[in-house]
Amino acid sequence: MCIRDGPYLGGGTWERLFEELGTRLPAEYVALMDRYGAGCWGDWLRFHTPLRTDGGFRRLAEQNAEAYRGAIGGWRAEDPFPVWPEPGGLLAFATSNDADVLGWLTEGPDPDAWPLVVWPRHAPQGPPLPYGLVDTLLAWQRGRFETEGLPGLDRDDDPVEFALFEPWDATAYW
């Protein structure tokens, strides 16, 4: 993979985003985005453009929070997590092609200690994931990890064929 002009993050700054959110984000996420930018992993998992100047990241987080709030108040009452910006609330940063949500539980003052979770669209909420973001992404792309919302490879699939990243630019919707 070659990103000619560098990774696309949007026109804003991390500091401005942190100010909009009222919190920093995990350093692992910031480093991953600084390296790769917005795009789609494994033709499945969309990491949205974090530094759009139109408040896009915050809007994405708020939309997912509202959807989660509606789900736990109705047909998905078993989903156990609070909703961001509540303390410990689910803060979304990525979505799958099937509307599953990847995010953190904003537990405590240290974003680097926030647990990573998947809110699966078609299954009950599971526990926090056992790994951090990069380890989860690597294990999933290598076919060594799956959970509801991050489907595993079929037995005959070659992980190399699925270890893809499609970088986005300013024309991307997300």
* pLDDT, tens only, 142-170: 888 878 877 776 777 776 777 789 999 88
User: What 3-state class would DSSP assign to 117?
Assistant: strand
> What pTM was estimated for this model as a whole?
0.87
Tell me which DSSP letter residue 2 carries: -
Q: Which of 49, 61, 57 is nearest to 173 (CA)?
A: 49
Q: What is the pLDDT of residues 90-101, one digit of tens each?
A: 999 999 888 888
Q: Which domains does the chain have, with CATH numbers?
A: 14-148 (3.40.1580)
Q: What average pLDDT is seen over the chain?
A: 85
| pLDDT at residue 5 is higher than 80 | no
- 83 contact partners, CB below 8 Å, separation of at least 6: 65, 68, 69, 72, 89, 90
Q: What is the pLDDT of residues 41-77, one digit of tens each?
A: 988 899 999 998 887 888 888 887 887 777 666 555 5
Q: What percent of the chain has pLDDT over 90?
A: 44
